[in-house]
Structure 1
Amino acid sequence: MSARDTVATARPTTPSPRIVEIEGLRGIALTLVVLFHLFGNGRVSGGVDVFLVISAFLLARSILRKAQREEGARLAQHFAGVAGRLVPPAAVVLITVGAATLALLPPLTHEQNLREIIASALYFENWELIASQLSYGAAGPETSPLQHFWSLSVQGQFFLVWPFVTVVLVWVARRVGRSPLSVVVITTTILTALSAAFAIQLTAVDQPVAYFNTFSRFWELGLGALLGLTLHRIPLTSHTRAAVAWLGLALVISSGFLVDGGQLFPGPWTLWPVIGTLLVLLGSGSTSAHGPAPLLNTAFLRFFARISYPLYLWHWPLLIFYLQVRDYSRLGWAGALFVFALSVLLAWLTHRLIEVPIAALRKRVSTPKLLAVPVALTLLIVVPALIALAVDDAKRQAQLQAASQPSPDHIGAQALYQKPPAEFSSSVDIVPDASVAFDDLPSIYAQKCIQNYRSEPGMDKVLVCGSDVTSPSKTVIMTGGSHAQHWYPAMAAIAEQENWALIVIDKDGCRLSQTDPSDGISSCESWTESALQKIISLAPDAVFTVATETASPEAEHEFIADAQVEAWRALTDRGIPMVAVRDTPRFSFRVPECLQENDPGSTEGCGIDRADTYSDVSPFFERSDIPDLVSHIDLSDSFCTDTRCEAIVGNVLVYRDDDHMTATYARTLAPAIRDALVAAMPSLF
């Protein structure tokens, strides 16, 4: 045993150009991501967290070294090198996804996928996912073919911002006469601690948002950066490094099997793969024959390390498009093996035909020319996508405008409500078209006064959508979640006729409930308490809300939650009368997508049996604890016949997704709901 194996020694400050453990670990991590996506039944491997730590580890030590040189950090050269590595392979995948979207997916999904192509190309896909796919009742496919770009976006944002932060900190350190390393380390430590605290808080109240949020993910990058900055000052024997590297590798590989990262990350459990990664990095460079370097340097792992980035890029869209084309909800083993094999093939071709030539190009051309390649590719993606979005938006607005115009052949609910039914032609196109139905929202949403359904700090603040009626005959407040607000077009038409002040106080996803019966929206209870006080202070003539919740894949029978009755009593005890409308049908699928997947003109299979969503009698009449000042109206016959609830009624598409009305159909309900209100609460008229 040599002296260097038994004596703790500090590492040299100059890193090896190739660290076997890092290259092998990166290959294992990203390959684990792919394997868990394909074979893991929804579990998260922790490989992305490894990927983030390694990226920050390498960048932080490299940028600090460059920033301390007399010639500065040469940021243009740095960005050209990073963009040259990352952008070309990603551009090929994004272009392929765009073409596949137009060729294989229904038009309803095109707008969202185009937005995500732009977001992915510009490295803000994680924020796009938070704004769209995590929005209440998000449109489009269940899972985006570009969702995996969220981690690349977090990495890209770090790669863009951190060099500037480092250069500024080095300049400050020199101005105040301090060591640049100490200033960068102290600043990174503070930012990492703040991010960790934010991640814990946000994960507790809104884990899906925390999962994609750059600021709740920064602590992983920060820990990687701190180790990169201080690794050369940590003295360990070669045998100790070998031991901690093996321990770290065990933590990384076991993470996906033992920790459900999809539900727990980026909270404290994320330390499992993060600490594992840090230990492997800490133990890298061991001269001991007992370390993991020989394993990580095998030809098999070197191959997957080389193709790990394009493999990560390709596997997810291939998976999503395979499920879409085959109309599967999940992969079987045969499908998973097929997608994996195709992903490996495309990754290898991308490496050979794109990554290798670009790497050679970096050695031969100037920085401006090298930077021109990723910039040109990004513009090639973003500009056509923006044009396509603009064209699509103009077409969509024209279709929605046409749908909003009264038509004798588009009578909607009157085909069921009016007795005898009005005559109308069945040979005209339905409105709104299924491709734009999701955007057929009540106009109240354009005022941005409906509180977001999420639970981050401030999301329990009560917002009020006021009325511009100066001398109203009555004041009516609508509340109770989106299933109350999708009646707004009909109620607004009545309010205009009767000169009411129609006020909306609402939070998406939250029924008016004294306790929180909502599914995971932790801010509903506190919002409801404040909303009740606000409603009481306004002393309305009536409060319009939704009464029941119809049966759905999540609820076997139509019901009324006890917590709703408690909230109703809080208002009626103050003398405020209420009218509670029976809920609308709920489907196990998105109706517009169903219509687009069927043959043109056919609605077969896009309706449900009435008994699948409605009880024989409204649960309102089966409860004895309903306050006397609560009236009930039941318009279920304006959605369903005695046996069926169809997707199209009177040439109008009824549903914008799986359980919300289109605004177009809601407008056709105005006569029906007016008659019901006159009967239930004549004091309003």
Structure 2
Amino acid sequence: MRAGRRASSQGDGAAADAGSGARRGFRGDIQGLRAVAVLLVVADHAGLGPLHGGFIGVDVFLVVSGFLITGLLLAEVERSGTVSLAGFYARRARRILPAASLVLAVTAVAGYLILAGADLLRLVQDSIWAAFFAANIKFARDETDYWAQDESTSPIQHYWSLAVEEQFYLVWPLLLVVLVLLLRRRARAGSSAPATPGAGAVRRAALATIALLSLASFALAVRGVAADPTGTYFSTAARVWELGLGAGLAAAMPWVARRPAAVRGLLAWAGLAAVAASALLFTEATRVPGWPALLPVLGAGALLACGDAPVRWGPARALSVAPLRWVGDRSYSLYLWHWPVLVLGAALLEVRGLSGWQALAAVLLALVLSDLSYRFVENPVRHTQLLRGRRRGLVLYPASLAALGVVLAVVHTVVVHDFAQPRPPVTAAAYADRGLAKDPHVALVQASVLAGRADAEVPSPLRPAALGLSDRVAADLGECSYSGQDYPLPLCPRGDPDGEKVLVVLGDSHGRHWAEVLDGIARKHGYRAYFLVLAGCNAASVQPWSAVDDAPDEECAAFHAWSQEQVEQLRPDVTVLSNDTVGAYVGPDGERVSDTAEVARLLEDGLTERLASLRPLAERVVVLADVPRLRTHPSDISRRGATLGDGLAKPNGRSMRMRDAAKRAAERAGAEHVETRQWFCAYGECPVVVGDFITRRDYGHLTLEYAASLADPLDRALALR
């Protein structure tokens, strides 16, 4: 299972509103389009087939949503002269809330049985945001990175686009009401004009309004994907143009329908081809909702506007076959269920990704669940007479929040209670008869390995708290965090601001996770300290391959040049390099290199070159060995019934090979090398918990608390004077 930005949402609460009314004018081709879109998304998420761009299903669904909902709203205006906001939101509640709330509740209960405590608490938090249709805000605020290998994926990550859709529908019906009122006032002001605006006037005003909003939204999306791709992907403002295209087409349908049938049939086929091409050609690196998104969005728009062309050879017949209509009816439920099933399935099997057969089984289970919820939850609630009427359905908002709140509160309380029970930490004294090292820090690591082998209970409380592990952040470097900043970059002296000696730290996020400790050591010895570190940018003279852009990391190349200039000007007494040594690099031919042996060679040569360039500029150049990477995620020790043995494993083999390459580079360049392995591993294994400290916040990054505990041994190892 590939989690990622591809946790795109069906966003199809919309189409359901159309289905909730009478079948008059029902178009089977739209149901088929919904089925195609959701199947693209599901196949992509499950890793089934070559549809790596299946995430464009979200774009298709947003267009469908804008088209169907706006069509219903305009039909209501033409029928009654206005829009009943209470009636609209009651219909939305009947359609959206039952299935959405059910999936959130079931996912929380299943998560309690399967997930680690830290991940479960994050799930509870995410569910609260999702319940208020604000999941996109939460994930954007958290800077959720779908390609980060060190982060676990939220089982309800896909709710973000449902939030986008509902936020749009908080505003768009209100704008239509305002337009109708303004047109009515203008109509009354004219001596010979009718008292109420005509249908054509309302449609023209709606079309002009949504066109302006969509153009502004598209401009924001194009600019945003370049500056902040993650935030833009979650942004409602950057998605309005996709909903707006569908809305504009709905307003323009009386004019579109008058175009020649043959032209419309050809456009419909072109639209289907555009959607298919997007699914086949797009990749994780494709920057949507920017320029590339025009292809699937315009394709979906062409299908909606022209799919009902009265020609026998059009795509409507193919899209209207019974199996596709069946999936289309259940597309909302299928979208809601498939992602939690995939994510929780992988967690249950304790694998990073499901195999092909496992993923197929998960998809089939999601399809069964979607059919059950469609038949026994969605349709019964949608059609019950108890909730008929313009306002009765509104009761579902507080009712669903209350019911879901009870489930989430119980899950949260039980988990917190489990971890509130005090349990003693691991101590070296308990294993004094096992011949531990004299160094107390090393001895504690050895004792923690022995405790893990004995499956000792997990200490409580831990530092940091195990349940808050997913909220851990990197050391605060203020305005000198550097990521995404424009040049010239600032310099932020830390340590002893008045110190005559200078310490410079070069590296990436693995240099940053030592920042607070090195800051204190520099202050103690009278050094001004400068942390020239950039996440994802190894200090070696080698260009990383950006996982986000799937291209060479140009930001890192620029940062290398800038940081070298700063070292030349600062002429530090001590320069320390600390890097994450696991990653992919750009080879001599400009292509991505990920093979372990080749990456190790590139790292060794690149680090040797950088160290050689630094040695004439500093009295001492020190390579601080990378932290051995874990094979097990630290959150595993917060699973129900976990012991310290669940957080014990051999270090990651690739990580150790890269650490060896870095050590050879230091020797070749004549630089100093400080080993760190003894503070993290012993007897060939690395414990997640040392004493009562959680050592990492993910597979490779230190927790700030454990890093602080290593201040004394690190101080001695660096031997600053």
User: TM-score, length-normalised on structure 2?
Assistant: 0.75
Structure 2 Cα separation of the partners of residues 155 and 550 of structure 1: 39
- Please say if 1:481 is aligned against 2:511: no
How do 1:96-115 residues align onto structure 2 when only pairs under 5 Å count? 96-115=106-125
Distance in 2, matches of 1:277 and 1:391, equals 46
Deviations 1:122-143 (A, max 9, x none): 2232343344473599698643
Q: Render the CA deviation track for 1:281-319: whole Å, top value 9, x for unaligned.
A: 122443344444444444333322222211221122122
Alignment correspondent of 1:43? 52
**Given the alignment of the two structures, is residue 58 of structure 1 paired with residue 72 of structure 2, yes or no?**
no
What does 1:78-477 correspond to in 2, within 5 Å? 78-132=88-142, 134-135=144-145, 142-168=152-178, 181-204=203-226, 207=229, 209-234=231-256, 235-253=258-276, 255-260=278-283, 263-332=286-355, 334-361=357-384, 365-382=388-405, 385=408, 418=439, 429=458, 431-432=462-463, 435-436=466-467, 438=469, 444-445=475-476, 449=479, 451=481, 453=483, 455=484, 458=485, 462=489, 467=494, 471-472=498-499, 474=501, 476-477=503-504
Match in the other structure for 1:28? 36
Deviations 1:185-219 (A, max 9, x none): 34433433343344344445665554444344333
CA 1:675/1:614 → structure 2, altered by over 3 Å: closer, same or farther? farther
1:265 offset after TM fit, Å? 3.6
CA shift for structure 1 position 52: 0.8
Of 422-431 and 658-667, the range deviating more from structure 2: 422-431
CA separation of 1:151 and 1:176: change in aligned 2, threshold 3 A: same
Cα 1:501–1:624 change in 2 (3 A) is closer
Distance 1:522 1:392, change over 3 A: farther
DSSP 3-state at the match of 2:53: coil
Q: What do residues 590-641 of structure 1 show as CA deviations (whole Å, max 9, x unaligned)?
A: 3443785996232586122779605796645546985x8x654333444445
**Matched residue SS, 2:90:** helix
**Alpha carbons of 1:410 and 1:197: their partners in 2 closer, same or farther (altered >3 Å)?**
farther
In structure 1, what residue type is equivalent to 2:643? Answer: P
How many correspondences in the alignment? 656
Further displaced range: 606-615 or 532-541: 532-541
CA drift at 1:101: 0.6
Q: 1-side partners of 2:687 and 2:694: how far apart?
A: 9
Gaps of 5+ in 1: 1-14, 679-683
1:546 counterpart (553, 568, 578) = 578
Cross-structure match for 1:12: none
**Distance in 2 separating the partners of 1:459 and 1:513:** 22
With over 3 angstroms needed to count, the CA separation of the structure-2 counterparts of 1:419 and 1:261, relative to structure 1, is closer
Match of 2:649 in 1: 606
Amino acid at match of 2:117: P
SS in 2 for 1:367: coil
Q: Which residue number in structure 2 is paired with residue 681 of structure 1? A: none
Moved more, 322-331 or 522-531: 522-531
Identify unmatched segments of 5+ residues in structure 2.
Answer: 1-22, 188-196, 548-552, 585-593
Give me the whole-angstrom Cα distance separating, in 1, the residues matched to 2:340 and 2:166: 20
- Aligned sequence identity (%): 26
**Partners in 2 of 1:609 and 1:237 — Cα distance?**
64
Match for 1:233: what amino acid?
W
Determine if contact 1:109/1:141 at 8 Å carries over to the other structure. Answer: no
* Residues 350, 563 of structure 1: alpha-carbon distance in 2 compared, 3 angstrom cutoff: same
Residue 507 of structure 2 aligns to a residue whose secondary structure is: coil
Distance 1:91 1:328, change over 3 A: same
State the AA in 2 paired with 1:658: Y
Residue 535 of structure 2 is aligned to residue 508 of structure 1: yes
- Root-mean-square deviation (Å): 4.7
Compare 654-663 and 557-566 and name the one that shifted more.
557-566
Letter in 1 for 2:510: H
Q: Name whichever of 578-587 and 79-88 sits farther off.
A: 578-587
- 1:134-166, CA deviations, whole angstroms, 9 ceiling, x for partnerless residues? 359969864332222233222222222322344
- TM-score, L = length of structure 1: 0.79
Residue 96 (structure 1) shift:
0.5
For the 8 Å contact 1:509–1:518, the answer to whether it is kept is no
2:718 is equivalent to residue 677 of structure 1: yes
- What is the distance in 2 between the residues matched to 1:260 and 1:137? 12
**SS state at 1:118 partner:** helix
